[in-house]
Amino acid sequence: MKYCFGIDIGGTSVKMGLFDTEGNLLEKWEIPTRKENDGEAILPDIAASVKDKIAERKIAADDICGVGMGIPGPVTPDGDVSICVNLGWKERNPGRELSELLGGVPVRAGNDATVAALGEFWRGGAQGCKSVVLLTLGTGVGGGVILNGKVIDGAHGAGGELGHIVVNPDETLRCNCGNYGCLEQYASATGVVRVAGRILASKPEQASTLRSIENYSAKDVFDAAKAGDAIALEAVEILCKYLGFATANCAMTVDPEVFVIGGGVSRAGAILTDGIGKYFEKYTPLLKTKAQFALATLGNDAGIYGAARLVI
């Protein structure tokens, strides 16, 4: 049996999976992401963990076909990273470095959201489709585009960066990327909480269950909306509207069969897909057959599946 590793590097932990080359996940585990010193320890930590697993399972060096890796930032087709804010990395080629640390094992790296889209395409909510766009609604908003089975990463590694599509040019708050009015500012977990806060502040006379919850979360906002809370419903409506707007623009660019919605916020379920679908319908009169909206099914494992797929 041949093996490969799928690795998903996040800001707090590195998720790791051992797969066989049929694509079966044999084992998964996590190690902490040590971001101090510009994240210098991250790749050596990953290499050590991979070596430990190879030794523990007594896998022969010849039976390792490669390591795939998802990275939270833009990655060029050659695997170059110019900056990765979440890890503290500046210019480097993490795939080449990890390969050297592992004695020449082939390593391929890609953007984490693109890699997660590949996972959902291969083993999750978009199986059987040829063209799919994944939106990951978490702390930020990630995106991945697969067109006719091919990952679209663009000339500069920014292909599929759907979180930074501008949906509101009149926004006065700045996005993490330096721009104003990005999708991420409304459709991420932090975004929906902030939008709800804005509405609460603008309507001090209106009752809302959110007022009694200290440090309410995105889940609290969705739960309140499902219970009919008018302020929470308004925040969810804004999120759905901007997601409908962004996905409609995306459909006019790449016209996928399905949009897969993943990340922690996607646990809100049908209120989200129905809400986005309503605005998507409104903004795509040109499309006679509309793209479907589906929920991701691999959850937090989409990244390791997609990373493994990079080398299988």
Closer Cβ to Zn ion, 129 or 175, answer by number: 175
Written as one string, the DSSP assignment of 80-132 is: -BS-BTTTTB-SB-HHHHHHHHTTS--EEEEEHHHHHHHHHHHHSTTTT-SSE
Closer Cβ to Zn ion, 113 or 182, answer by number: 182
Footprint on residues 250-309 left by Zn ion (CB under 5 A):
none
179 binds Zn ion (CB under 5 A): yes
- DSSP structure class, residue 20: E
Core vs surface per residue 27-53: b (16+ CB within 10 A) or e: eeeebebebeeebeebbebbbebbeeb
The Cα 134–Cα 117 span in angstroms is: 5
Interface with Zn ion: number of residues (CB under 5 A):
5
Token digits for 152? 């679209």
108 binds Zn ion (CB under 5 A): no
Which range touches Zn ion (CB under 5 A), out of 86-94, 115-123, 177-185, 207-215?
A: 177-185
The amino acid at residue 227 is A
177 binds Zn ion (CB under 5 A): yes
Give me the least distance between CB of 130 and Zn ion, in Å please: 29
Closer Cβ to Zn ion, 179 or 297, answer by number: 179
Which range touches Zn ion (CB under 5 A), out of 25-33, 45-53, 182-190, 236-244?
A: 182-190
CA-CA distances (angstroms) from residue 157 to 59, 114, 126, 153, 304?
A: 34, 10, 23, 5, 20
Closer Cβ to Zn ion, 174 or 203, answer by number: 174
Footprint on residues 110-169 left by Zn ion (CB under 5 A):
164
Give me the least distance between CB of 179 and Zn ion, in Å please: 5
The residue from 50, 129, 182, 302 that contacts Zn ion (CB under 5 A) is: 182
Closer Cβ to Zn ion, 31 or 177, answer by number: 177
The footprint of Zn ion (CB under 5 A) covers 164, 175, 177, 179, 182
